[in-house]
Amino acid sequence: MASLFLLLIVASLVPVSIPLFQPRPLADKYWKAAGAAAFSSCLQAILVILVGRNVLTIDSSLRFAIVGVPACILALMLATRGHGDYRPRVAIGSSMGLVIWGILITLH
């Protein structure tokens, strides 16, 4: 089950990371939005790994989500304010992150 969640977390970062492989320079708002989305995904991955190794229980997901959900919302806000073709990619990745947080909280 942990590997499935890790796969979902990596999948949510794919749209956010696509602009990194394009040759043109990226806006500051992209870096801020991508950083917030990546931070939230790192929290998700840490939670899933620690729960998978029985270091934490799934009850800890709410404590992680207190920081992770606002990071996803911040990434969405920064993406919608930005101008560029990265906007929908960051918005999709952050929305997927919110869905993953919802699933992790629901399993609690």
What pLDDT, on a 0 to 100 scale, did the predictor assign at position 22? 85
What pLDDT, on a 0 to 100 scale, did the predictor assign at position 99? 95
pLDDT tens, 90-103? 999 999 999 999 99
User: At residue 49, does pLDDT exceed 90?
Assistant: yes
pTM: predicted TM-score of the whole model, two decimal places: 0.91
| Nearest residue to 78 (alpha-carbon basis) of 67, 90, 92 | 90
Grade residue 58 by pLDDT with cuts at 50, 70 and 90.
confident
- Return the domain boundaries, the chain: 2-13+27-107
